[in-house]
Chains A and B, each alone.
Chain A
Amino acid sequence: MHEYSLVQALLDRVESEARSRHASAVHRVTVRIGPLAGVERELFSKAFEIVRPGTLCDRAELVVTGDDLRWTCEVCGAAIPTGRVLVCPDCGWPARLASGDALVLERIELEVPDHV
């Protein structure tokens, strides 16, 4: 259950951004979590619900987007289907993870007082 420590890191990052921009609240936070990120999206969202009270994210919406799992050949770029042996059937070269391990804070939407 490392999702709590990840959410804590997320809140620290978001709050420091919010403070530096004199935001009164955080409106929405968007993170991208791939299937090979090693993070359960549902647990992550639950951890966010539990950790956020009393923070600038108290009323913030958490949007978790996904990421495609794609392995490709390092040499010829051919797609290698997930679940198969991770070797290019044409070149015999090991596959490379093209996408699927993202664990990224994409965007923060802040409520900033008009006079700031």
Chain B
Amino acid sequence: MCEDCGCGDTRLVSVDVHERLLAGNDRTAAHNRGHFFSRGVTALNLMGSPGAGKTAILEATARHLGGSRRLAAVAGDLETERDAERLRKAGIPAVAITTGSACHLDAEMVHRAVHDGASLEADYLFIENVGNLVCPAIYDLGQQANVVALSVTEGEDKPLKYPVMFRNADLVLLTKVDLLPALDGYDVAAVQDALARVMPRPRVIAVSARSGEGVAEWVAWLEGLRVPGELRPAPLAIGVREVSHG
């Protein structure tokens, strides 16, 4: 007993936890994954910088599919419902998640969106994350695959600057390739080389939402996700060569 105030002495108790800080998010993500799986929904987490062309790619995807697949979307933004409105105009049922100050979506936000009316009567649910190359990368949402949109106007070295985002990507969509003629000196091989240094199974599809280039290849990749046993892209190790950065 403490002699000054009688409060009682304390002893130190050490508790070994060894638990991921995101364990709570992981549990909700697993719950979401169960929702998606049981309804036969292929969920994708679409990430990328603001303005990388995430919404435009989804619009082009809807145009390409022309109703042959059922699409749905959840669109995260700090403010406004603009992306969700654009997607609805493109024929994709979409629910907006306005995050306020949060720079990323987490599994709980997606869970709420699903209960707030995001359509699970879909073959593909696109979760369009908040435009940001940092924070969204570490939050599992329950998706089957991570797709990162990287526009050619962002330069060739983004993968080296944001390795966490690209390490977790299953596919990188190199967007706005219709602008390449205007970008003197832009080297697609340099982007591929940068990706190969941060992404163990680099898979890149060059697309243009405007011209439609690459959209068929992207849709074929999406179809591959629905083939049992092919949830992961096959290793593309052989033939990847190092390119020196001059």
Point out residues on A near B: beta carbons under 8 Å.
1-2, 5-6, 9-10, 12-13, 17, 21, 23-25, 27, 31, 36-39, 71, 83-88, 92-97, 101, 103-115
> B133-151 vs A: 1/0 string, CB under 8 Å?
0110111000000000000
B237→A31 contact, CB < 8 A: no
> B203-246 vs A: 1/0 string, CB under 8 Å?
00000000000000000000000000000000101101110000
Q: Which residues from B are CB-within-8-Å of A94?
A: 200-201, 235, 237
B21→A38 contact, CB < 8 A: no
B163→A104 contact, CB < 8 A: no
B residues 163-190 near A (Cβ < 8 Å) are: 163-165, 167
| Least Cβ–Cβ distance between B33 and chain A, in angstroms | 20
Measured CA separation A111–B15 after assembly (Å): 11
Q: Which residues from A are CB-within-8-Å of B237?
A: 87-88, 92-94
| Least Cβ–Cβ distance between B14 and chain A, in angstroms | 5
26 A-B pairs in the complex with CB atoms less than 8 angstroms apart: A2-B134, A5-B102, A9-B21, A9-B24, A10-B21, A13-B23, A17-B15, A36-B163, A83-B197, A85-B193, A85-B196, A85-B242, A88-B237, A92-B237, A92-B238, A94-B237, A96-B200, A97-B200, A105-B18, A105-B20, A109-B15, A110-B14, A111-B12, A112-B11, A114-B10, A114-B11
**Which one of A2, A71, A88, A111 has the highest number of Cβ atoms from chain B below 10 Å of its Cβ?**
A2
A-B contact count (CB 8 A): 126
B13 interface residue (CB < 8 Å to A) = yes
Q: Which residues from A are CB-within-8-Å of B165?
A: 38
B residues 52-70 near A (Cβ < 8 Å) are: none
A105→B19 contact, CB < 8 A: yes
B12 partner, pick from A6, A105, A110, beta carbons under 8 A: A110
B contact residues, total (Cβ < 8 Å): 44
A86→B198 contact, CB < 8 A: yes
B135→A1 contact, CB < 8 A: yes
**Which one of B24, B197, B238 has the highest number of Cβ atoms from chain A below 10 Å of its Cβ?**
B197
B17 interface residue (CB < 8 Å to A) = yes
Q: Which residues from B are CB-within-8-Å of A86?
A: 196-200
> B11-53 vs A: 1/0 string, CB under 8 Å?
1111111111111110000000000000000000000000000
Q: Which residues from A are CB-within-8-Å of B22?
A: 6, 9, 103
